Amino acid sequence: MRVIFSHGHLSSPSSEKIRRLTPLALDEGWKVEAPDYRPWQDDPHGRVAHLESRLSANAKPSVLVGSSLGGLVSLAAAEKMPVAGLFLMAPALFMEDRVPGGVIREAYQPLTGQLCVVHGWQDDIVPPEGSVKFARALGASLHLLPDDHSLHASIPTIAGLLQTFLRAVRQAL
């Protein structure tokens, strides 16, 4: 079993959230990957294809953990390929018109029943309303925190939420 972290638009696999959440996933017994999407910085479709190739390369169940554009990329891949779980942080949902070749979506259909969304109330880059709409439509767990888009001040809280999520996913497998 593995966790695949997907970083945001201008971020990298060594982002603060990935660096700080990776040890937690490892301690819970999960293998961890953090693909580098920087070659597709302005190409979300390329990012999705890269993530899909990573999913195809391993038959073991995967949990996708994505932040911002990485959340949208994780969700897009999870709509095409079944995953064990989807943990999204400040995901850029219902904002596809802001990315090249994107068309606004009205709904999403991930191929998993294990869904958790974390978003900051003070996010001025990706409005939290998209996360609320997504969680309401799919019955996902939703955690709105007093933080901005980076969620850096909430990493300890997010770590606890991710730990609980990974344990629930493992139990469901």
pLDDT tens profile 96-123: 766 666 666 788 999 999 999 999 999 9
Say if residue 89's pLDDT is above 80.
yes
Radius of gyration over every alpha carbon of the chain, rounded to an integer in angstroms: 14
**In angstroms, what CA-CA distances link 75 with 16, 25, 94, 103, 115?**
21, 20, 12, 15, 10
pLDDT tens profile 120-154: 999 999 999 999 999 999 999 999 999 999 999 99
CA distance 171 to 63: 13
Domain boundaries, given as residue ranges, for the chain: 2-172
Q: Position of tokens 């730990």? A: 163
Q: Position of tokens 């996913």? A: 169
Closest to 96 in 3D by CA, of 86, 106, 87, 88: 106
What pTM did the predictor assign? 0.95
Identify the CATH class of 2-172.
Answer: alpha beta
